[in-house]
Structure 1
Amino acid sequence: MARPGWAPPRLDGFVLTERLGSGTYATVYKAYSKKDTREVVAIKCVAKKSLNKASVENLLTEIEILKGIRHPHIVQLKDFQWDSDNIYLIMEFCAGGDLSRFIHARRILPEKVARVFMQQLASALQFLHERNISHLDLKPQNILLSSLEKPHLKLADFGFAQHMSPWDEKHVLRGSPLYMAPEMVCQRQYDARVDLWSVGVILYEALFGKPPFASRSFLELEEKIRSNRAIELPSRPPLSRDCRDLLNRLLERDPTRRISFQDFFAHPWVDLEHMPSGESLARATALVVQAVQKDQEGDTTAALSLYCKALDFFVPALHYEVDAQRKEAIKAGSSDLPVMWKWAGLSPQLLPLIPEMAREKPRLLAALEVAAAAMAKEEEASGGGEQDALDLYQHCLEELLLLLAAEPAGRRRDLLHTEIQNLMARAEYLKEQIKMRESRWEAEGLDREGLSESVQSSCTLQ
Structure 2
Amino acid sequence: MFWLRTFNYVPDIRQGRMAKGPHHKNNQSPRPIQHVRLYDDATLSNRYELMDKLGEGSFGTVFRVKNKENNLFYAMKTIGKKPGNKSKATSLDNEVKLLKEVDHPNLIHLEEVLESAQTLYLIVELCEGGELGVFVKKNGALPEETVKKIMSKLVHALYYLHKMDIVHRDLKLENILLKNPVETKMDDFDIKVTDFGLSSKKSITGTDTLFNEYCGTPLYMAPEILENKNYSALCDVWALGVIMYYLVSGRHPYQASDEKRLLEVIKQYKPKYDGPFHDLSDEGLEFLKGMLVYDTVHRKTMGELTVHPWLTGRSGGRPNKDIITLMKEFQEENERKQRTTAENQDSSNSQPSDTSTNHSLPLLGNNESSIIYEIPDTIVVNTVVPTISSLIPSNTRNPLVTQSSQQIHQITDKTKLYVRTNKIIENIKGASRRTNPSTDTSNVLPMNSKSRSNNM
Alpha-carbon distance in structure 2 between the residues aligned to 1:25 and 1:252: 32
CA contact (8 A) 2:59 2:89 kept: no
Residue in structure 2 matched with residue 269 of structure 1 by the alignment: 310
User: 1:214: how far off?
Assistant: 2.9
Residue in structure 2 matched with residue 159 of structure 1 by the alignment: 197
Alpha-carbon distance in structure 1 between the residues aligned to 2:252 and 2:85: 31
Which is higher, the Rg of structure 1 or of structure 2? 2
1:304-348 Cα distance to aligned partner (Å, 9 max, x none): xxxxxxxx7xxxxxxxxxxxxxxxxxxxxxxxxxxxxxxxxx849
Residue in structure 2 matched with residue 135 of structure 1 by the alignment: 168
1:98 maps to a residue whose letter is E
CA contact (8 A) 2:255 2:262 kept: no
1:17 maps to a residue whose letter is M
Residue in structure 1 matched with residue 275 of structure 2 by the alignment: 236
User: 1:56: how far off?
Assistant: 3.6
Match for 1:399 among 309, 324, 329?
A: 329
Pairwise mapping of residues 152-301 of structure 1 onto structure 2 (< 5 A)?
A: 152-164=190-202, 165=204, 168-215=209-256, 217-218=257-258, 222-227=260-265, 228-237=267-276, 238=278, 239-271=280-312
- Give RMSD over aligned pairs: 3.4
Alpha-carbon distance in structure 2 between the residues aligned to 1:416 and 1:256: 36
CA distance change for structure 1 residues 198 and 10 in 2, over 3 Å: closer, same or farther? farther
Pairwise mapping of residues 298-337 of structure 1 onto structure 2 (< 5 A)?
A: none
TM-score (norm 2): 0.60
Match for 1:34 among 68, 73, 94?
A: 68
Q: Greater share of helix residues, 1 or 2? A: 1
Alpha-carbon distance in structure 2 between the residues aligned to 1:148 and 1:14: 24
Residue in structure 2 matched with residue 417 of structure 1 by the alignment: 389
User: 1:162: how far off?
Assistant: 0.7
Alpha-carbon distance in structure 2 between the residues aligned to 1:10 and 1:265: 46
CA distance change for structure 1 residues 22 and 261 in 2, over 3 Å: closer, same or farther? same
User: 1:234: how far off?
Assistant: 2.6
CA contact (8 A) 1:45 1:88 kept: yes
1:232 maps to a residue whose letter is P
Deviates more, 1:166-175 or 1:193-202: 166-175
CA distance change for structure 1 residues 11 and 267 in 2, over 3 Å: closer, same or farther? same
Residue in structure 1 matched with residue 54 of structure 2 by the alignment: 20
User: 1:14: how far off?
Assistant: 1.3
Pairwise mapping of residues 342-421 of structure 1 onto structure 2 (< 5 A)?
A: 347=316, 395-399=325-329, 408=370, 409-411=381-383, 413-414=385-386, 416-420=388-392
Deviates more, 1:403-412 or 1:137-146: 403-412
Residue in structure 2 matched with residue 81 of structure 1 by the alignment: 114
User: 1:143: how far off?
Assistant: 0.7
Q: Greater share of strand residues, 1 or 2? A: 2
Equivalent residues, number: 306
User: 1:25: how far off?
Assistant: 2.7
Alpha-carbon distance in structure 2 between the residues aligned to 1:247 and 1:93: 30
Instruction: For residue 41 of structure 1, give the secondary structure of its aligned residue in structure 2.
Output: strand
Instruction: For residue 270 of structure 1, give the secondary structure of its aligned residue in structure 2.
Output: helix
1:124-169 Cα distance to aligned partner (Å, 9 max, x none): 1121111111111000110111113432111111111111327511
Residue in structure 2 matched with residue 337 of structure 1 by the alignment: none
CA contact (8 A) 2:80 2:120 kept: yes
1:399 maps to a residue whose letter is E
Alpha-carbon distance in structure 2 between the residues aligned to 1:85 and 1:243: 50
User: 1:173: how far off?
Assistant: 1.2
Alpha-carbon distance in structure 2 between the residues aligned to 1:404 and 1:252: 46
Residue in structure 1 matched with residue 124 of structure 2 by the alignment: 91
User: 1:206: how far off?
Assistant: 0.6
Identity of aligned residues (%): 27
Match for 2:134 among 84, 92, 101?
A: 101
Instruction: For residue 269 of structure 1, give the secondary structure of its aligned residue in structure 2.
Output: helix
Alpha-carbon distance in structure 2 between the residues aligned to 1:9 and 1:181: 44
Extract unaligned runs of 5+ from structure 1. Answer: 1-7, 275-311, 313-345, 349-370, 376-389, 429-462
Alpha-carbon distance in structure 2 between the residues aligned to 1:401 and 1:83: 78
1:153 maps to a residue whose letter is I
Deviates more, 1:87-96 or 1:145-154: 145-154
2:275 maps to a residue whose letter is R
User: 1:395: how far off?
Assistant: 3.7
CA contact (8 A) 1:172 1:188 kept: no
Instruction: For residue 30 of structure 1, give the secondary structure of its aligned residue in structure 2.
Output: strand
User: 1:63: how far off?
Assistant: 0.9
Structure with the bigger RCO (C-alpha within 8 Å, sep 6+) is: 2
Alpha-carbon distance in structure 2 between the residues aligned to 1:134 and 1:255: 15
Alpha-carbon distance in structure 1 between the residues aligned to 2:327 and 2:393: 10
2:211 maps to a residue whose letter is K
